[in-house]
Structure 1
């Protein structure tokens, strides 16, 4: 084989998986989830430095209104399932985040017992981050942020899933804005 062709092939091969992913022809390995086998995964990822997983699961079929549930913990010990009973249409919301410099993302959120739970996915130039933020309602700062292990988040990209989650309505505290941050008391004000 021509050495010039081989050299060009070696330089082009790393771009092939990227091109396939961008064209929608290749799919990443699914992230582990706590969803039942008959549910669709809207969001899921293993939490960094932990054995826990956070998942947002959609009921099978096209129910109206769409049923979903949030699960946090491990398969053998889920710590929080919302809604607690069955597959109900809880107060889930979806929003698009607003950041400068070509960075964007989306969220799924809900409020339970005065606490807001925010599943997020951000991406941009040299940035990919996902996780869950826990914040008391009507507070500026989050009380906790649990990041996903790097490059492990699975989130709804399928048109049918996006149609379902987009029907939930937006969260006015998040839509077009940035995520809340945890207050770092070690930084002098």
Structure 2
């Protein structure tokens, strides 16, 4: 899906907040990930038209807030690892995306060097889309949207369970209950 779809969806469907609920169990990861063997794969998918992968990895153990890493690139050449220093605390945020018509999803975001990175997964009403959006902080439009290969996005944990685990990160005020940013056409 391209950014035009999200722009159309944002205009056509009202955003409806959704209360968190806990359900589901951990699943085995069918998609490749860039997580370390001792980390829980929270989300991972190959990026369309490339050999790159994006992964959100949770550190082992039960710390609050949970320590996590964002990894983008290939196994032999990770281009961005956040946070760069091991499993240091980071400013991750977690948000629930909800649209009318049974469409919704999750977004996990962080800010690094004046740039916001948004990892997302949306599904429902015949739609399945996931990927990464990159945008300058305090800007309306995204500068980059990289979609996952169709049908490869993988939430290792049920989306609601993952939200429950990561809710101590706090919501992203620009995303929670809002539409995802789109690229300027």
> TM-score range with shorter-chain normalisation?
0.7 to 0.9
- Greater relative CO, 1 or 2 (CA 8 Å, sep 6+): 2
Per the alignment, residue 183 of structure 1 pairs with 184
Report the TM-score when normalising by structure 2: 0.81
User: What is the count of residue pairs matched by the alignment?
Assistant: 162
Post-superposition shift, 1:160? 6.0
Q: Which runs of 5+ in 1 are unaligned?
A: 1-23, 185-189
Per the alignment, residue 99 of structure 1 pairs with 99
- 3-state SS of the aligned residue for 1:166? helix
- 3-state SS of the aligned residue for 1:48? coil
Post-superposition shift, 1:89? 1.8
Post-superposition shift, 1:159? 7.0
Superposition RMSD on alpha carbons, in Å?
A: 2.1
Per the alignment, residue 173 of structure 1 pairs with 174
For residues 48 and 56 of structure 1, the distance between their equivalents in structure 2, rounded to whole angstroms, comes to: 17
* Largest Rg, 1 or 2: 1
For residues 142-178 of structure 1, the C-alpha deviation after alignment (integer angstroms, 9 at most, x for no partner) is: 0000000011111231776443212211001000111
Mapping of residues 81-160 of structure 1, within 5 Å: 81-155=81-155, 156-157=157-158
For residues 145 and 159 of structure 2, the distance between their equivalents in structure 1, rounded to whole angstroms, comes to: 26
For residues 91 and 167 of structure 1, the distance between their equivalents in structure 2, rounded to whole angstroms, comes to: 11
For residues 158 and 62 of structure 1, the distance between their equivalents in structure 2, rounded to whole angstroms, comes to: 18
Per the alignment, residue 56 of structure 2 pairs with 56
